[in-house]
Structure 1
Amino acid sequence: MSRIFTRIFFVLTIAGAINFAAQAQSITVSGTVKDRQSSEGLAGVSVTIKGQSGGTATSGNGNFSFTTVAKVPFTLVASYVGYGTVEQQITGATTGINIDMEVAVVLGGDVVVSASRTPERILESPVSIERMSAATIKDIAAPSFYDAISNMKGVEGSTQSLTFKSINTRGFNSNGNTRFNQFIDGMDNQAPGLNFSVGNIVGISELDVDNVELLPGASSALYGAGGINGTLLMTSKDPFRYQGASFQYKTGVNHVNDDNSSVQPFNQLDVRLAKSWNNKFGVKAAFSFLQAKDWFGNNYSNFDRVSNMVKAGDRNSDPGYDGVNVYGDEVNSNLLGAARSVQAAFQASSPAGYGAFNSFIGSGLTYPQIVNLVSTNPTYAALRPALPYLGVMYSLNKGTTPSQTVSRTGYNEEDLVDYRTESMKTSGALYYNITPTVQALVQANWGTGTSVYTGSDRYSLRNFNIGQYKAEIKGQDFFVRAYTTQERSGDSYISSILGSYINEKSSPTASAWFPTYTVAYSAARAQGASDVAAQSAARAAADAGRYAPGSANFATAKEQIKNTTISSTDPSKGIYGAKFDDKTNLYHYEGMYNFSNAFNNVVELQVGASSRTYQLRSGGTIFDDLNRKIDINEYGAFAQVGKKFGEIFKLTVAGRYDKSTNFDGRFTPRITGVFTVAKNNNIRLSFQTGYRNPTTQNQYIDLSVGGGVQRLIGGLPEFLTKYGLNVEATKAYTESSYRAYLASVIAGAGNPALLQKHTFDARGVRPESVKAYEIGYKGLLGTKLLIDAYGYYNQYKNFITAVNVYQNVSGNFVKYNVPVNAESEVSSYGGAFGLDYVVNKWNFSGNVSYNKIGDLPTNYINDFNTPEIRYNLGLGNREVVKNFGFNVSYRWQDAFFWNSTFAAGQVPAFSTLDAQVSLRIPSVLSTIKLGGSNILNKYYITSYGNPEAGAIYYLGFTFNP
């Protein structure tokens, strides 16, 4: 742990010691909280003093008691899931207090923090914001609160596996979305080496979630570089407001009517413990464990990696077949080229034999006649060992060897990837209230999991783990925090490399497999076989020693390769590795002060600053760090000023400056205005800017993927130099010209003049930015109907995309994928409309969103990856009859085209229906829930190349929710 981190802990310790020495005299605050209708005591109600840290939760019979140094008068705040919040002024006695609460759903009453980094009613937010409260989480039908985020207005997602989902808003969705920020208790939830927010694999336990706030669109002015498409903030419960022991157990099934698997169990256990003493000390711990069988990647469509498009054919009909979820078949060669290479090698090693065969063929003898002559005539006995080359020469001479791509036989994903999904999350925190308004805390979150992630490849994340450790002091007007994220790749590996290297173990591609294939094909053709029959015979011959899934050889090779690091690979020694060795760390420090109270809230003023360091440590398995250490430093500072002009208009101006090691500094301003057109009815206008540095992988990756047929490299100038891509003699060729050249080869001409060199920007990849314009309305009509609507327009500059180029290395073309910036601006636009209607405990909700990409620059790879239309409908009642409630959510989205570095193709339109019914048992503080996601069991995909997801049906029991 760094010296700065140590100093933070030292400050916390000193602050605690000083407070002990000068502790003011405390008083006891106690009483009872009851349900107004039944007069029964309510357990688990949070009771706090408004504006101060600390508080407590009621016991099983509704009683509460805590100590405080606060002086009368003060305001008690009682809040409980499903009940309206009660504020009660205390001016006299602080014991024997009675608080009555009523079941209620208060529309527009939520207080949010993320929109302006200061508390405000959601109705008055200057930008679009969505919120999921503890009450909402309690009633969701989905298996987890994270799954239910997709029901929020304007949200889209990519499901790569059962526990790995990426959240996004406003287009440009991707697997492992790097344009969307995700925070847990102020800590960036990204894996700093693998470059993605880790969903909820190692996130936050559902029992410990206090609320979730989502900001669609740019938010860099307040939250720094990143999040140009959106920011998600998840806040956990503190031990003063939420005390006691609680646990939740869900058991269920998935893979119902799945052709890939029999029905499989789904089990999840969540436990939370929290306790506070004297309103000074608080401690909490949470644990979550999930175990299930993951969804199967079973897209066997034939994929053309040059055009990045699906094409016709399968393994039986196309010798060059490359299945989307088949790995090892990415390795291919041109049959005509391979035959010529075999012939050239024979000519070099045996000029006499080559000449003799050439003479026989030239004399008009048929292949069988030549074979008979050599086999029976003693004069030609020396040529008999060379007979396999005869077929190659004969077929080339007769023109029966086609210019045809031939790929190795691959392995299905299910044979290579670990589908035994597990997720274990643990967290703990210690709290100390230095004063009624100043709190110190230390927090540790650690999780490990086995899952599958889609990037430029399908990565099997086995025993992957992340630890986040934070120290923080926060008050009513400030916070100072420091945290570190420690990423460990565990036993994670790349599936395509694993498949390719198992093939190499069984039969080396260049020296054995392709020569065998070529010789067998040519012999079959020379004897008069059709192309189809010859291809079949050739594959059978080349695959004669192939390690079949389930065999001992396959299992041994698989274990060796997936447990050997990528950087240890040495084909000359027969050593092959597909394993990551990532130990990348992130250190982050930040602070903020709100001066608004100093100005009596006439003017709102906030200032803040942050610093972070990425320590890239992958041992050469992801980054170019095999023989060096790579650190990236980032710094930033922001200020925000807000002013209310009467009760009609509020103007806020904010700006942030950020600087990174490899890039120039950037300023990102934000201007927002809120017009109050009537009570609880507001129109908002905003201009925001977003800014995103190229990711750590955009900068420093150096990794072979796709079974070794493609290399991902960083976009910094040093990588262009390393691989000679900026030197005229060794420049690579554009993808379009390479396709044209391939077409000429297939046609038999092979015209090199078609190849055109690609010139990279000497500055390398640079940060991208966005200008975001938005107009919105949020209003409460009466007390029952809440409407929220917005429209937006985004302009992206220096949009970070990638190009594929092909470099001729000694006659072989090597494919590079290089991050670059789009040459001109990219635009997108859209809007959303949502409403909530509540009457007599019935809650009706619905929202629809529209997203569209504008004009595209030349040669830009369109990865908008977003349906134009999607909508959500919801219906629920927390108590249809006494203690019995239900909730139903329906989601639909339109078809769209998905484009990524892994695969591209059409994502069909789909709909899902989630539902749950619940029974509260107040006598034992428990709830039983029966529910399911996608209960109609219509299998669907959210992104091309990812697995189809079916239904999950579960039965849950929660104690003391």
Structure 2
Amino acid sequence: MNKTITKIILMVCVLLWTGFAAFAQSIVVSGTVKDKLTNEPIPGVSVTVKGKTVGSSTDQNGRFSFTTTEKPPFTLSVTFVGYNTIEREVTGAASNLSFELESGAILGQEVVVSASRTPERILESPVTIERMGQAQIKEAAAPSFYDAIQNIKGVEMSTQSLTFRSYNTRGFNANGNTRFNQLIDGMDNQAPGLNFSVGNIVGITELDVDNVELLPGASSALYGAGGISGTLLMTSKDPFKYQGVSFQLKTGLNHVNDNNTSAQEFKQFDMRMAKSWNNKFGAKFAFSFLQAKDWFGTNTSNFDRAANMPKSGDRQSDPNYDGVNVYGDEVSQNMRAVNNNVEAATRQAILGATGGLFNPQTTFNALPAGTPYSTYVNLINTNPAIPGALRPTLLNQYLPFYYAQRNPSFLPNQNVSRTGYNEIDLVDYDTKSLKMSGGLYYNFTPTIQLMAQANWGTGTSVYTGSDRYSLRNFNIGLYKLELKGEDFYLRGYTTQERSGDSYISSILGSYINEKTKASTAWFPQYLGTYIGARLNPVVTDAQAHAAARQAADANRVQPGSAQFNNYAEQIRNTYISQTNMATGVYGAKFNDKSNLYHYEGMYNFSRMFNNVVEFQMGASARRFDLNSGGTIFADLTDEIDIDEYAAFAQLGKKFGEVFKLTVAGRYDKSQNFDGRFTPRVTGVWTVAKNSNIRASFQTGFRNPTTQNQYIDLAVGGGSQRLIGGLPSFLDRYSLLSNKPYTEASYRQAVAGTGPLVQYTFDPRGVRPESVTAYELGYKGLLGSNFLIDVYGFYNEFKDFITGVNVYQNRGTATSPTFVKFGVPVNAAGKVTAYGGAFGLDYVRGKYTFSGNVSYNKLNDLPADYNNDFNTPEVRYNLGISNREIFKNVGFNVNYRWQDKFTWFSSFAGGEVPAFGTVDAQVNLKVPSVNSLVKIGGSNILNKYYITSYGNPEVGAMYYVSLAFNP
């Protein structure tokens, strides 16, 4: 890493020298922008040098001013949503310019950067790209701009809680999506310990967001590992362009007609302040606080963990009931196995007590098979060879288990689970989200800027991974130092994750049970009571199970009681790594303080080639510093760091005015895996004015996550251990030498319906997965008010990272003790998927009509592959809006629908029903105080739905907001 830092410092010196040289001549561009019809100034208009990022926005008086090193002649582009774009060539004086904008459509004229890392009209993008600008964000029919992203073509979202949402495109959606990159002002906001972007828990506040750009599908050639399914880039506002004080108050209701609670209030306050001095020094600060009652996880369906699908039955009808959002009932044991263990342990105790002189099994085996229970009782009471003091032990603690063992038909080959607690009794649903961000900016020259930026957020939320995790007082910070110019940038940043008081809900439920009564006592008591009840011929099997559970659960602490709260508080405040069942210490709390350090730089050499070709090069280095205190990773005694390096280059060339070809490639190397090269080739063919056909060949990959590599964690109430897939973990748990058995064969063997089948791990361990993506699309304007965008894609995945559950015998052949492990592995063979999308936007006067439909399909799968495509085949959105249907009154309505599909994850799998939902808002502009009042709601028809199986149902949110200077 030291060599990398040295190289970066040298690069800074070179870039500074180049930048200062470029500043040899600069001019000031200034003027005003007015509405042509009313002659009133228009604030917020973007004025930029065409094809460049340099520019400014008009203030409240319609004035703008900025400096540029471009020498006349050059062209200025003046754009504002709802008005026709003006382009004017500047050949002489550039001060006191005057522009008049006319109302009209500007479809397809938005400038995007992320598709090629260079400014270009969205119409001319070589790959599919979606964008939300300030106008769309301000007028979105959603509670926040982040929620509104799900209305974009091809986008799907997994809602795990009110503030924790994961986005995805083109299949293989997931809770906490590790196949989807999310960048905030160039910073990767993934939590280093959790491995994925934490929604918008930390990020840009709504008042500070400038725009959002989305790249569906593979994007590794430009943005590195991870973006197999897509990359989302959020950019905040520049304090030089957007100054002043803004604030927003929002309040509303959710949980309307919720069976679990009355309607609950939510409230949010946002503020932004920005100021610049002499176009040299700038500063900004943004703040947001939200408080609400979260959505409840209330799925009590019975779950079959072997098939990872729901099954019939409930707690009353199924002794092995395992509710999806019920925790503690994951702890399960086979009745016959418990019976055998109790019989053997009691027999050994009797042998010890009698000095080995009396073996009850030898004595009872002398009786013929089928001997009635009463005969055994009579033998114990009348046989003079049996010591009198031993008879109560034999009658009450040994005989029932011996009898059940000798008469298999008497005891079913049935698993029994402990009684669990509902999620609502274990998880903290009092959601809070506090976000703060700020930055200091200094312009060395009109084109070279140094910035220091900090984003920090904390809150309480719920996240679904291999378990349901209650994130309490979780916080994460992103801190960046960046130097950038027109042709380069150099940045370094760190992501600092702190788990706060977060804990695992299933372990909490299980350990409350353990503190009440240890499983070593609960299961024998259950079995003894069951056998005793079945000795009465009139008692049915169901009645015996009911009696057994009632006896074993006697004195079980109840939710809400003082004892329950006391146990829960003890466990929530004890780290997982401190758990010691022998001493009665139980912990469910994380202790994660993992960090990410990232350094990168890029230089655009196009100007050196007089823009005949576009040529860019860049490099990056990052380190994951994992620190969980043994509560997530195997780092209780070992230090874990992961170093990664990368370099990329891109070359683009225009052939006349009709075709542009771009070639890019990136090489990435992680210390634990072989290096990867990801090429990209794109072409854009202009078939007519504002009509372009695009084609691309892209590749992407992702390294196994930090958890895929180094996790060492008990989940499922402690019934399963998740471990990393590196060879060192396979060796640590002897999974190569002491081969485990497949989950399916283990369950068959326990049921007596089949033999154990060994599972053989690849000694290389888990490896990176990759995708090859092909895309063909068209985007064009028909006239000036009808925009069409259509594309099709085909993806081919290799070494797809999935997971396998195995059972290893850590005992002996005669006295087996099986331990369940969850291990990440690569799927054999190739996985393919294809699909497409069609979108259109039509502007008629002040009305905008929009619609899009997306199709995704998974092709044939390799044998034994877990289908986690997790994507509906069909989704569509329909929208209508008017920025001013009456004077200063506008509205926006969006309808979203998706088909049913099957969801599969390490937490739960099942069918997600089809649903449709309506979002709407009406807004009133108050120009006299530069304010906006909005009344609206998401899912306004209040039809509760789920986006992924095992996650909470989402109902309506109704709100009213007041924004000043938005």
Q: 1:258 to 1:222 in 2, by over 3 A?
A: same
Matched, 1:755 2:764: no
Instruction: Assess if the C-alpha contact under 8 Å between 1:391 and 1:526 holds in 2.
Output: no
Aligned partners of 1:537 and 1:372: how far apart in 2? 28
Say whether 1:324 aligns with 2:324.
yes
Residues 689 and 69 (structure 1), Cα distance of their counterparts in 2 relative to 1, 3 Å cut:
closer
Residue 21 of structure 1: how far off its partner (Å): 15
- The one-letter code of the counterpart of 2:529 is A
SS at match of 1:459: strand
C-alpha distance in 1 between matches for 2:71 and 2:215: 38
Task: Please give the per-residue CA displacement for 1:228-247, whole angstroms capped at 9, x wherever unaligned.
Answer: 11111111110111111111
Asked if the contact 1:301–1:314 (Cα under 8 Å) also holds between the matched residues in 2, the reply is: yes
Q: Could you give the per-residue CA deviations for residues 828-861 of structure 1, whole angstroms, max 9, x where no partner exists?
A: 1111111111110111111111111111111111
Partner of 1:520: 529
Q: For residue 940 of structure 2, what is the aligned residue in structure 1? A: 935
Partner of 1:275: 275
1:264-413 maps to which residues of 2 (within 5 A)? 264-351=264-351, 352=358, 354=360, 366-367=373-374, 370=377, 380=388, 382-389=390-397, 390-398=399-407, 399-413=409-423
Give the letter for the 2:808 counterpart.
Q
**Cα contact 2:944–2:956 (8 A) shared by 1:** yes
Q: For residues 22 and 654 of structure 1, what CA distance do their matches in structure 2 show?
A: 27
CA distance in 2 between counterparts of 1:3 and 1:501 reads: 48
> Residue 963 of structure 2 corresponds to which residue in structure 1?
958
Q: Provide the secondary structure at the position in 1 that maps to 2:444.
A: strand
Cα deviation digits, residues 8-61 of structure 1 (max 9, x gap): 899999999999999999988765433222223334445566688876655544
Q: Using the TM superposition, give the Cα deviation of residue 354 of structure 1 relative to its aligned residue in structure 2, in angstroms.
A: 3.3
Aligned residue pair count: 951
Distance 1:223 1:2 in 2: 23
Following the alignment from structure 2 to structure 1, what is the Cα–Cα distance between the partners of residues 706 and 57?
Answer: 44
Partner of 1:784: 785
Letter in 1 for 2:527: T
Task: Give the CA deviation at 1:618.
Answer: 0.9
SS at match of 2:632: coil
Residue 600 of structure 1 is matched in structure 2 by 610
Alignment of 1:808-847 (within 5 A): 808-810=809-811, 811-847=816-852
Deviation at residue 101 of structure 1 after TM alignment = 3.0
2:744 equivalent in structure 1 = 736
Letter of the structure 2 residue corresponding to residue 531 of structure 1: D
Q: Is the 8 A contact 1:67 1:279 kept in 2?
A: no
Return the alpha-carbon distance in structure 1 between the equivalents of residues 17 and 697 of structure 2: 47
Q: Secondary structure at the match of 1:491?
A: coil
Q: Give the partner amino acid of 2:498.
A: R
Is the Cα contact below 8 Å between 2:339 and 2:404 reproduced in 1?
Answer: no
User: Which amino acid letter does the alignment assign opposite residue 131 of structure 1?
Assistant: R
Per-residue Cα deviation, 1:641-693 (whole angstroms, up to 9, x for no partner): 11111112111111111111011111111111111111111111111111111
- In the TM superposition, what are the counterparts of 1:173-572 in structure 2 within 5 Å? 173-351=173-351, 352=358, 354=360, 366-367=373-374, 370=377, 380=388, 382-389=390-397, 390-398=399-407, 399-510=409-520, 512-528=521-537, 529-572=539-582
Identify which range, 74-83 or 821-830, moves more after superposition: 74-83
Supply the distance in 1 between the matched residues of 2:21 and 2:702 (Cα, whole angstroms): 47
Is the Cα contact below 8 Å between 1:836 and 1:845 reproduced in 2? yes
Which of 903, 907, 914 is equivalent to 1:909? 914
How far apart are 1:579 and its partner, in Å?
0.9
Distance in structure 2 (CA, Å) of the matches to 1:917 and 1:145:
16
In structure 1, what is the Cα distance between the partners aligned to 2:382 and 2:200?
69
TM-score by length of 1: 0.94
The separation in 2 between residues aligned to 1:820 and 1:654, in whole angstroms, is 30
Q: Distance in 2 between matches of 1:163 and 1:677?
A: 44
- Determine if contact 2:722/2:822 at 8 Å carries over to the other structure: yes
Structure 1 pair 316/637, CA: closer, same or farther in 2 (3 Å)?
same
SS at match of 2:582: helix
Distance 1:134 1:367, change over 3 A: farther
Paired with 1:368 and 1:148, the residues of 2 have a C-alpha distance of: 74
Deviation at 1:311, TM superposition (A): 1.1
For 2:894 and 2:279, locate their aligned partners in 1 and report how far apart those are by CA, in whole Å: 40
Per the TM alignment, residue 497 of structure 1 is displaced from its structure 2 partner at its CA by: 0.8
Amino acid paired to 2:468: R
Q: Distance in 2 between matches of 1:581 and 1:8?
A: 33
Q: SS of the counterpart of 1:435? A: coil
Q: Per the alignment, do residues 375 and 6 of structure 1 end up closer, same or farther by CA in structure 2, a change over 3 Å counting?
A: farther
Assess, with a 3 A threshold, how the Cα gap between structure 1 residues 484 and 509 changes in structure 2: closer, same or farther: same
| 1:645 has 2:633 as partner | no
| Closer/same/farther in 2, CA of residues 457 and 764 from structure 1, 3 Å limit | same
- Assess if the C-alpha contact under 8 Å between 2:82 and 2:106 holds in 1: no
Deviations 1:234-277 (A, max 9, x none): 11110111111111111110001111111001111111111111
Change over 3 Å in CA distance of 1:341–1:179 after alignment to 2: same
Counterpart Cα distance in 2 of 1:654 and 1:13: 26
Residues in 1 aligned to 2:366 and 2:532: alpha-carbon distance in whole angstroms: 18
Matched-pair contact (CA < 8 Å) for 2:171–2:870? yes
What residue in structure 2 maps to residue 676 of structure 1?
A: 686
Residue of structure 2 in register with 1:921 after alignment? 926
Q: Which letter maps to 1:616?
A: L
SS of equivalent residue, structure 1 residue 191: coil
Measured after TM superposition, the shift of residue 735 of structure 1 is 2.4
User: How far, CA to CA, are the matches of 1:106 and 1:333 in structure 2?
Assistant: 65
Contact in 1 for aligned 2:51/2:119 (Cα 8 Å):
no
**Quick one: distance in 2 between partners of 1:19 and 1:674?**
31
| SS of the residue 1:348 aligns to | helix
Deviation at 1:694, TM superposition (A): 0.8
Aligned residue in 2 for 1:725: 735
Return the offset for 1:920.
Answer: 0.6
- Provide the C-alpha distance between the structure 1 equivalents of 2:277 and 2:924, rounded to a whole number of angstroms: 33
Aligned to 1:158: 158
Alpha-carbon distance, 1:423 to partner: 1.0
TM-score, normalised by the number of residues in structure 2: 0.93
Aligned-residue sequence identity (percent) comes to: 66
Q: Secondary structure at the match of 1:197?
A: coil
Shift of 1:865: 0.7
CA distance in 2, matches of 1:673, 1:44: 34
Specify whether residues 440 and 87 from structure 1 end up closer, same or farther in structure 2 by C-alpha distance, changes over 3 A only.
Answer: farther
Aligned-partner residue type, residue 179 of structure 1: R
Q: CA deviation at 1:527?
A: 2.7
Following superposition of structure 1 onto structure 2, how do residues 607-626 of structure 1 map, counting pairs within 5 Å?
607-626=617-636
Instruction: Give yes or no for contact 1:53–1:433 (8 Å, CA) kept in 2.
Output: no
One-letter amino acid of the counterpart of residue 942, structure 1:
T
The RMSD of aligned alpha carbons is: 3.0
2:905 pairs, out of 896, 900, 907, with 900
- The CA distance in 1 between the partners of 2:375 and 2:565, in whole Å, is 42
Q: Which moved more, 1:117-126 or 1:354-363?
A: 354-363
Q: What SS does structure 1 have at the residue aligned with 2:674?
A: strand
Instruction: Give the 3-state SS of the residue equivalent to 2:228 in structure 1.
Output: coil
Q: For 1:866, what is the secondary structure of its paired residue?
A: coil
Aligned CA distance change for structure 1 residues 136 and 105 (closer, same or farther; 3 Å): farther
Q: Write the deviation string for residues 549-598 of structure 1: whole angstroms up to 9, x where unpaired.
A: 11111111111111111111111221111111111111111111111111
Shift in Å, 1:433? 1.4
1:775–1:22 Cα change, 3 Å:
closer
1:62 Cα deviation after fit: 3.8
Change (3 A) 1:116 1:22: closer
Partner SS, residue 726 of structure 1: coil
